[in-house]
Amino acid sequence: MPRSYIITIASEKGGVGKTTLATNLAIYLKGLAENLPVTLFSFDNHFTVDQMFRLNKTSNTHHIGQLFSGSNPTELISTGQYGVNYIQSSRNLFENQHLVQSADQLAKIIAQSTLQGLIIIDTSPTLDIYTRNALYAADRVIVPIKDAPSLENCRNLTDFLVQQKRSKTILKLLPCLIDTRIHFDGPFRNSYQLLKAYAINRGYRCYEGFIAKSPKVESLSTNPAGKIYPVITHGRNTDVHLQLTHLARQVYLDYLELGPTRLKEVANELFDQEENLSQEYKSRVKKLQPTCLCCDVPVPEDKIWPNAYFLENETGNLSGFIEEDCFFELLLQDFYPELSGKEQQKLLQEILTGAVNKSFILLQKTQIDGEQAQIDLFRLDQQGEKISGRSILLKKRGRFQRQGKTGLLQLFNQATEDQTENFQQLLVRQTDKSPLSLLKHHNYMKWQTVFNRVQIDHKLDKDFE
């Protein structure tokens, strides 16, 4: 499937003409290649894109913020004027930045979508999370510069690209809003030549030509009708029309020569990542004990085991499932031997069931001597904080073997060949109908995060002692 070629318009300085450039470039590119889809959206907090391209006054409910909330990008697109597709802007875009977790999120979203053709992204004059996403996903970054400060601000864009292991050659500078009435004495006759010389001296690439400052073009967004008009329809008699035409040809030839390489790279990275995650998952499944850790009942072949509990020790040497009845019998008989009545045991089981459904259970063994060990039981919240706890002392003789089932000390001994291990931990959590889902990447990462928190807290407690 052909992938999109992404053009990001970026500058950390406001007032350099980013949005004017982005909107007009979209129209000129569409004019060059009528059959090539051109899609435009903005991460800046204004509605110029909507005002220029909306075909009627009625807007749909889709907007740019939904790109990061699981919506299919193709469903967010509206058909706009001049044959350009666009995604509506959002007033709440910056209030929803928490939805964007990393700089590679946009690239992954578009890479996995069916979007094709050219995508032009207008950005805000800050290197926020949205701008970083637009830079990360770009095949080409166009940076409009109008003076020395806007040129100096290019350094931050370049630094970000280098940090992401991207070549700074994808960045090209374009002098904009150049006042052609100003002339200098010496080798550089005007602002355009001076800015271009400065840019090349700093190692930047530049487009041929520039975009001039034009009162006529500026008036296209300020008029009694309250509309925003493009240069191609209302500014054909200006130099800017010729300059945008020249720029569009350069951008289009750039696209034909290089093609949409960035999203191919991202797609390949996603494929490799999925392969690695799949192998890690298979490895975790392979380590699982084939039977219940307490009663040796085989784990169902279809892996559907309602109300089972997943258990793993801190080193991963022991990993498997325990039947619900086995788990509660183990806890009740070892931690609550005083509850002999069935009604009392049933009540406690209901309490423990509710607790485990919403949290983790940590079992912790501290070997006191060769015959005796302390076992701690802690209920943990979703973050691994201890909510409640209880401790018991167990001896090898006594409640070590329970009617042919594995007891607590035996359970710990399964986790290591060295049965004299002084300190051990087992983390337990109830699974859903498909127990193996807990071993999937994101679920298992959460499991590991909680277990790491528990181990850090224990180390801190020991150091404090």
CATH code of residue 235: 3.40.50.300
Query: Would you say residue 359 lies in a domain?
Result: yes
Same domain flag for 376 and 308: yes
Query: Would you say residue 316 lies in a domain?
Result: yes
Least Cα distance to 315 among 407, 426, 409, 410 occurs for: 426
- Per-residue exposure over 383-393, b if at least 16 CB sit within 10 Å of its own CB, e if not: ebeeeeeeeee
Same domain flag for 140 and 262: yes
The burial class, CB within 10 Å (0-12 / 13-18 / 19+), for 168 is: middle
Pairing between strand 85-87 and 77-79?
antiparallel
Query: Would you say residue 279 lies in a domain?
Result: no
Same domain flag for 394 and 356: yes
Compute CA distances 8 → 110, 129, 192, 332, 403, whole Å.
Answer: 14, 14, 22, 62, 69
Structural domains in the chain (count): 2
Same domain flag for 27 and 59: yes
Query: Would you say residue 282 lies in a domain?
Result: no
Same domain flag for 63 and 182: yes
Same domain flag for 247 and 337: no
CA dihedral 166, 272, 108, 450 (to 10 degrees): -110
Tokens 């193709």 correspond to 74
Same domain flag for 362 and 253: no
Last residue of a domain, one of 224, 240, 270: 270
Same domain flag for 205 and 300: no
Query: Would you say residue 280 lies in a domain?
Result: no
Tell me how far apart the alpha carbons of residues 412 and 390 are, in angstroms, rounded to a whole number. 17
Same domain flag for 260 and 399: no
Q: Where do runs of H (alpha helix) occur along 300-415? A: 324-335, 342-357, 408-414
pTM: 0.76
- Give the model's pLDDT for residue 409: 82
Same domain flag for 354 and 235: no
Count of residues in the chain = 465
Same domain flag for 316 and 260: no
- Give the model's pLDDT for residue 327: 85
- Give the model's pLDDT for residue 373: 85
Query: Would you say residue 145 lies in a domain?
Result: yes
Pairing between strand 319-322 and 309-313?
antiparallel
Domain membership of residue 318 as a residue range: 288-464
- Please report, in tens digits, the pLDDT of each residue of the chain (465 residues total): 578 999 999 999 988 999 999 999 999 999 999 999 999 999 987 889 999 999 877 667 889 989 998 889 999 999 999 999 999 998 888 888 888 989 999 999 999 999 999 999 999 999 999 999 999 999 999 999 999 899 998 999 999 999 999 999 999 999 999 998 888 887 888 889 999 999 999 999 999 999 999 999 999 987 777 788 999 999 999 999 999 999 999 999 999 998 889 999 999 999 998 899 999 999 999 999 988 888 888 888 766 777 788 999 988 889 999 888 888 888 877 777 666 666 666 666 666 665 556 678 899 998 887 778 888 988 888 888 888 888 888 876 544 444 556 778 888 888 776 555 688 899 998 887 678 888 888 889 988 999 998 888 777 666 555
- Give the model's pLDDT for residue 401: 46
Check residue 33 and report its DSSP letter.
-
Last residue of a domain, one of 236, 270, 304: 270
- Give the model's pLDDT for residue 296: 80
Query: Would you say residue 339 lies in a domain?
Result: yes
Query: Would you say residue 277 lies in a domain?
Result: no
Last residue of a domain, one of 270, 299, 322: 270
Same domain flag for 255 and 317: no
